Amino acid sequence: MTEAPRTQSLTLTADDVHRGDLILVSTLLERAYVFPKDESDLVTLYGNKSDSYRVSSSAIKLSRTTMAALDAMFDAFFAETGSRDYQITQGYRTLEEQTSIYDDYQEIYGAEQGALLAALPGYSEHHTGMAIDMNVYTAAGVSYSLATAGDADPIYAWIYANAAKYGFVLRYPESKTTVTGITNEPWHFRYVGRGHAAYMAENSLTLEEYIALLYKHGASSPLHFTADGVDYTVFYVPLAGDETQIELPQNADFSISGDNDGGFIVTLRTAETNLE
């Protein structure tokens, strides 16, 4: 008699829908960020980050997971180029900080254009602590926009070719303004996790498009792909009342993220096996 696979049962609550690496925050889709009761997951970059990159302010904060991914990414850049010139200029924002930015843009650019340049307060990805804005600031004190830094020195284009390997995606590409509701921001990256970032980059998907794709892949028909030597199985589970039960293999390497709307994205990871 074949023994049934052992499983583990996880209980997720309605509050969990608003937490995780893949939550979608969007003015266009009317998905506001739900602020947690405290900021315990946030860490100040200054004094805690790797020495392989710069920050423009000692007050910039990110989620711990995002900072760890940044450290790994820029450590790799430094090892390859010897440069520490990438600089984080924006990270986590409070509701009050986003309100100030939004109001300024409305006054300068008008209602329609201002809304494309700055998200409505409560609807900014910067509230999540997983979004960053960047530029280049050299040891000589010269500052470059990330969009043009590669013209000054080709090494600065590294971020666009390598960000996905470390879990980051260019969040608001020029060709997807109608999808995201935000104009092109070549300096703005969002942490979503390594496998997801790789799939999104390879298939030219925004987070909106990727989440929409995952809605078509339930537990019985998951999305399968391989990235960086890891096999991924990803599927969507809708919220079922106040609590949702999810059954997974007993010793699975997994993560679960809310979508910030009505359900959960389950990710299972398995290292590739090479048979000779």
Q: Residue 273: what pLDDT?
A: 54
Does residue 201 lie in a domain region?
no
Q: Which of 191, 225, 246 is the last residue of a domain?
A: 191
In a domain, 200, yes or no: no
Contact, 51 vs 84, CB < 8 A?
Answer: yes
Check whether 1 has a pLDDT greater than 60.
no
pTM attached to this predicted model: 0.94
Helices (H), the chain: 64-81, 95-109, 111-117, 146-152, 158-162, 177-180, 194-202, 207-214
pLDDT beyond 80 at 133: yes
Q: Which two tokens stand for residue 270?
A: 């398995």
Whether residues 52 and 64 share a domain: the answer is yes
Cα 142 to the center of its chain, rounded Å: 28
Across the chain, mean pLDDT equals 95
Total domain count, the chain: 2
- Taking the C-alpha atoms of residue 223 and residue 218, their distance in angstroms, rounded to an integer, is 8
The residues assigned a catalytic role are: 185
Percent of the chain with pLDDT over 70: 96
Q: Look up residue 264 and give its amino acid.
A: F
CA distances from 205 to 69, 100, 181, 201 (A): 21, 31, 14, 6
Whether 197 maps to a domain, the answer reads no
Q: 27 to each of 31, 35, 120, 122, 181, how far by Cα in Å?
A: 6, 16, 6, 9, 7
Q: Is 275 strand, coil or helix?
A: coil
**Same domain assignment for residues 63 and 170:** yes
Q: pLDDT band for position 38 (50/70/90)?
A: confident
Write down the pLDDT at residue 275.
Answer: 44
| Digit-coded pLDDT (tens) for 238-264 | 999 999 999 999 889 999 999 999 999
CA 114 to chain centre: 23
**Which pLDDT does position 39 carry in this prediction?**
87
Give the pLDDT mean for 219-237: 97
Whether 2 has a pLDDT exceeding 70, the answer reads no
Is residue 276 pLDDT above 50, yes or no?
A: no
The token duo for 100 is 């100030």
User: Tens of pLDDT along 144-195?
Assistant: 999 999 999 999 999 999 999 999 999 999 999 999 999 999 999 999 999 9
Query: With contact defined as beta carbons under 8 Å apart, do 192 and 21 qualify?
Result: yes
From 191, 226, 248, the end of a domain falls on 191
Range of the domain at 270: 1-22+206-276
- Which of 174, 221, 166 shows the shortest CA–CA distance to 198? 166
CA 120 – CA 209 distance, rounded (Å): 21
3 state SS of 202:
helix
